[in-house]
Chains A and B, each alone.
Chain A
């Protein structure tokens, strides 16, 4: 059970900014800048950070939906970074994605049955009958009814649509699923349903999740390990309890202090971060967080802190952690 499924080494994605008639490259958006992590079979890695921290980009890069700039992605011991689309296609059986927006991620012109059957159609030689049977199984697995297969996506609520998206991702029994903020577009009551559904599926099918979220309480609930991102750079990386119980990075501490606690008597000390997240086009020199860090010193402004192991399996990128 301890075998590593996915390994990411020093992943970098710079989006070029083109201006003018001739599309001259004027600079880069450094969306992801040197991220490494590994994920074991059946475990969940929570990817957290503010908007624009590069979480979603990492999810896309791992599935090769967008080309990366630098780095290495190894899935089941196979380096997939240099593969082209047709070489990589068969591997998509094992790697799937659940999208954030359940409204735009389902083709409005296809029935739910067709949507869920599409991966089967592309990757297997199943007959029409076999596919239909599998679709009904999958619908039941995500607690929808088989007759829903004949309907169109617009006839469903957001939570139901998200379940359809999950059923599509499960169709080929993948080993690894990128869950790209799967619950952030849903109502709070539905969020709990979907979260529990994902946990159940993981237990039943031994799926590994790359769980992207900005809701820390859900990540705490689901994830085995957590990677905190800021401006495309890793700030803190470690086991769930390391990061949530003993956060060492000031940014993680600030994020955790912002999590609402459902207890009216609870008095908390909030660390309020000043200002906006800086532009990833021109990130601050030194530690990228120094512009907003309450403990920043001169050293932080000039020297880039490396990700250091402060305890076993607990990494922090801060000079003073």
Chain B
């Protein structure tokens, strides 16, 4: 008795499993989950996505605010205090210079607080204090670099190097409160990367979706209607494809800048004003491949007997298009779109890198790289601003790579004949 009951239970379980395979996308998700590289890509994407969109909720630093000499001096004070904690003899060596430096930093901190509260006088005073802050900082750093400890070493010789941060003011990776340091304008890089990620993702995803809508519609219409409609639409696609995109965009750059200005200033769209033109440009030049893909699919599907069967049943044309043709093209469309997101983020980065993409006040990863490229020829600046090159570069790289992994996984997962 107990045995039969157990058997029954097992059978019901099997039946439930079978029931789950009812939905197509449920099956796709099950197959996708088994694809390790794709799941890795998806997780990375989720992390980068959260970093860009949820990160700013927790890390609220202003993307536009830049730091001043006193902030760098505070950083020096922090570094030297840590050194003193390790080697108390250092405090005696620095003597009164250290006291003066600390006093100046305290004054600056107090003034800064007042200035932030809206005290204009404090702000003026603070800016007058800055040359003193610079000279005191230089003095204390050179003293640190020439310090010889008990065993005859000069452990702080590299402090001379840190002088570069005071003029123009900037902070390196790991400075307290600035995990990734600042950019060349003294703005917090982490906050800017989050913001840039938001811009890059939005542009990539929205432009890919708009291109998908355009391409699918054109492809479905051309493929199903055939004849003259098909010929005209496809020749238009050929024309669009034969336009050299990059030179055209470079030529259009002034126009795009004008739109940006109109949208963000006159229409009050702010940051979105500088994103919209990029989305339009990427969508307008990005739908042709998809329309060819969909048309090809529709042409081959039209010849399949199940379409003839639907006509034999007497299904209306609308139903044939939406129930029989479209669902069979959606899989490659989704795959192509997910890969197009990566392509669009990259194109946006390239355009921004060339200076023709996202326009200030917005920024993007490509835009940050565009600024950083100026430093690549000077070893001094390269060592100072390496974070501006490698951090957004790496982010861009892993994001694109992950999109491609996930897209490939999706391609395999949507094919029901693939046994993963």
Contacts and interface: CB of A to CB of B under 8 A. Distances in A.
Among the interface residues A107, A108, A119, A152, which one has the most CB atoms of the partner chain B within 10 A? A107
Interface string B292-310: 0000000000001110111
Interface stretch (B69-77, B168-176, B314-322, B360-368): B314-322
Interface stretch (A32-40, A98-106, A190-198): A98-106
Interface in A87-140: 88-90, 92-93, 96-97, 99-101, 104-111, 118-119, 122-123
A270 interface: no
A279 to B, nearest CB: 23
Among the interface residues B311, B312, B319, which one has the most CB atoms of the partner chain A within 10 A? B312
21 contacts: A63-B312, A65-B308, A65-B312, A93-B314, A97-B312, A100-B305, A105-B306, A105-B308, A108-B328, A109-B328, A110-B323, A118-B313, A122-B314, A122-B315, A122-B316, A123-B313, A147-B18, A150-B22, A151-B18, A154-B416, A168-B313
B contacts with A: majority SS: helix
Nearest to A172: B313
Interface residues of B, number: 25
A97 B307 CA distance: 13
A111 B315 contact: no
A8 B68 CA distance: 95
Contacts of A147: 15, 18
A111 B18 CA distance: 12
Contact of B309 (A109, A152, A154, A168): A168
B313 A122 contact: yes
A107 B324 contact: yes
A165 B310 CA distance: 12
A303 B319 CA distance: 50
B378 to A, nearest CB: 58
A201 to B, nearest CB: 18
Contacts of B309: 97, 99, 105-106, 165, 168
A77 to B, nearest CB: 20
Interface of A: 63, 65, 88-90, 92-93, 96-97, 99-101, 104-111, 118-119, 122-123, 147, 150-152, 154, 165, 168
Contact of B305 (A90, A99, A122): A99
B314 A89 contact: yes
Shortest 8 CB-CB contacts between residues of A and residues of B: A92-B314, A105-B305, A109-B327, A89-B314, A107-B306, A104-B305, A119-B313, A97-B312
A122 B312 contact: no
Given A101-B305, A104-B305, A109-B328, A150 B312 contact: no
B312 A92 contact: yes
B107 to A, nearest CB: 73
Given A104-B305, A108-B416, A154-B417, 6 more contacts: A88-B314, A92-B314, A99-B308, A105-B309, A110-B323, A154-B416
A1 B314 CA distance: 28
Contacts of B15: 147
